[in-house]
Amino acid sequence: MRDRFRLTLAQLNATVGDLSGNASLARAAWEEGRAAGAQMVALPEMFITGYNTQDLVMKPAFHQEAIAAIERLARDCADGPALAIGGPALSGAVLHNGYYILREGHVAATVVKHHLPNDTVFDEKRLYASGDIGGPYVVGGVRIGTPICEDAWFPDVTETLAETGAEFLLIPNGSPYHRGKLELRQNLMVARVIETGLPLVYLNLVGGQDDQVFDGGSFVLNPGGELALQLPVMEEAVAHLDLVRGADGWRAEMGARARIPGMLEQDYHAMVMSLRDYMRKSGFSKALLGLSGGVDSAIVATIAADALGPENLRCVMLPSEFTSQMSLDDAGAVAANLGCGHDVLPLAEGRDAITRTLAPLFEGLEDGLAEENLQSRLRGLLLMALSNKFGEMLLTTGNKSEVAVGYATIYGDMAGGYNPIKDLYKTRVFEICRWRNANHRAWMQGPAGAVIPDRVITKPPSAELRADQKDSDSLPDYPVLDGILDILVDQDGSVEDCVASGFSRQDAAKVEHLLYASEYKRFQSAPGTRLSKRAFWLDRRYPIVNRWRSGE
């Protein structure tokens, strides 16, 4: 039996469906571990398929090919350390979320997940069957217990593993980001360590997948809960962990402890990484957006510059007769500060042509919302034409406040392939802008400094679709709106809860009505970065047609 065990942890970025690419990443990590003298190299949950697969994993051809890829890895990685990797597992015709231990050219052990999450973004009870709680497996004479992700959120699996002889716990995860998630994970894992008395290795996936961000942040705890190793948040990392057995059992030797950023930085990094990965994994290298001179398009442009590099971003100003000189100047300043492309396409000629076309049917009717929205829809048409012509993905720029109440034009400014700020309330947009102006990190590809002029952040928000328009003409002021939305959306509360918190019944009822009435717009909207536990899409699933209101 060994008194020292070296485990290589590979916190890497898998791509859903890229079985050969994910296998190559696993093989490279195994090579690194072999060179470092590791006894085992570990990768996160469902790494061979990427995560979250949703229903793709149920397709027989897909999960059979994924299992075959794991078996090839076993053969390719026969001469060296064991390789531990997540992937689908079959028991007869029953599909499981599995974790494979590959050693000496074959699958030496397979662990299957027992607790299947079925809330927020997870539908694992739809995808997999629950496996029985098993015991540890042996690598290099050491008995290792592996609860898979959710299995470690409950005490039964870890306690069974400890009782059946596990000497340390290795927990592979595909745990997506939301604010405060890392602290929540660590608190729960400290509980598992105290209950079992065993060292615990928490290995998490990193990278963006559609709306979800896997934030890494893998860590190691010693008995008693002491932090022995902390890998970075939102970044790939490979680390070699040494566990040593003494008179009191196994302990991990102290390793590097990466800095844990504050919540604003984590949110901003999540938006940058999710956009970068969404572009890269879907085959795009360049993006464009409509730059209005307002704060939302300014922060999306900055996120895109940091994700892709300014040279891969085109910003387009599309002014109408209602666009102020201030907006023209501010849009130009943002583009100049970022160093990205900046084009100006006036709407007047196109709008006149559309107005003439509609005139026979609109004759005798007063101008109103339809005419205002022509501007927004013409902008969407022109931006999509540029996207088609130049192969640049169009980014849309609606914040969570606007997305919630439908303060956006469907088939107009909602047009686009991705929305990095979809889960960012307007009041937090202002905070993020100020944070980015004051901070720069090595993972940002855009320039340092105050790239968003202060005037862009402080001026009253306006859609500029009519003369002297302000957002506050149609909506409560954003601190009020966001406070009500936090109760209705993030806390799943009612109009009465809003009133009890000090908001007016009239404002709360109006916001609730707009929230439910806008479901059809959100159903057709672009995906965007998930930052909270109540992001629009998988976290919050409501009927499109719904007449119920709590305020009535």
User: Residues 77, 124, 149, 521: which is the catalytic one?
Assistant: 149
Q: What is the mean pLDDT of the chain?
A: 95
**What's the rounded Cα separation, in Å, for the pair 137 and 480?**
55
Provide the residue type at 129 as one letter: A
Give residue-wise pLDDT tens across range 313-323.
999 999 988 88
**What's the rounded Cα separation, in Å, for the pair 471 and 206?**
37
User: Residues 45, 372, 392, 402: which is the catalytic one?
Assistant: 45
Secondary structure of 452-496 in HEC code, one letter for each residue:
CCHHHHHCCCCCCCCCCCCHHHCCCCHHHHHHHHHHHHHCCCCHH
Confidence at residue 2, expressed as pLDDT on a 0 to 100 scale: 59
Confidence at residue 1, expressed as pLDDT on a 0 to 100 scale: 47
pLDDT band at residue 469 using 50, 70 and 90 as cut-offs: confident
Q: Which residue has the higher pLDDT, 1 or 61?
A: 61
Q: Which tokens hold the place of 338?
A: 């970022």
Provide the residue type at 20 as one letter: S
| Residues forming CATH 3.40.50.620 domain(s) in the chain | 264-523
533 catalytic, yes or no? no
**What's the rounded Cα separation, in Å, for the pair 79 and 436?**
48
Helix 426-438 crosses helix 478-485 at what angle (to 10 degrees)?
110
Give which of 514, 515, 506, 510 is closest to 542, Cα–Cα. Answer: 515
CATH architecture of 264-523: 3-Layer(aba) Sandwich (3.40)
pTM summary value: 0.95
Mean pLDDT (whole number) for 521-537: 95
Q: Where are the beta strands (DSSP E) in 479-548?
A: none
Confidence at residue 322, expressed as pLDDT on a 0 to 100 scale: 85
| Residues forming CATH 3.60.110.10 domain(s) in the chain | 4-260
- Sign of the dihedral defined by the CA atoms of residues 400, 405, 408, 411, in that order: positive
**What's the rounded Cα separation, in Å, for the pair 286 and 269?**
19
Give which of 245, 261, 181 is closest to 535, Cα–Cα. Answer: 181
Give which of 315, 265, 269, 270 is closest to 289, Cα–Cα. Answer: 315
104 catalytic, yes or no? no
149 catalytic, yes or no? yes
CATH number of the structural domain 4-260: 3.60.110.10
Q: Are 76 and 29 in contact (CB under 8 A)?
A: no
Give residue-wise pLDDT tens across range 328-382.
999 999 999 999 999 999 999 999 999 999 999 999 999 988 988 999 999 999 9
Residue at token pair 């990427």? 50
Confidence at residue 372, expressed as pLDDT on a 0 to 100 scale: 87
**What's the rounded Cα separation, in Å, for the pair 174 and 168?**
20
User: Residues 113, 400, 426, 521: which is the catalytic one?
Assistant: 113
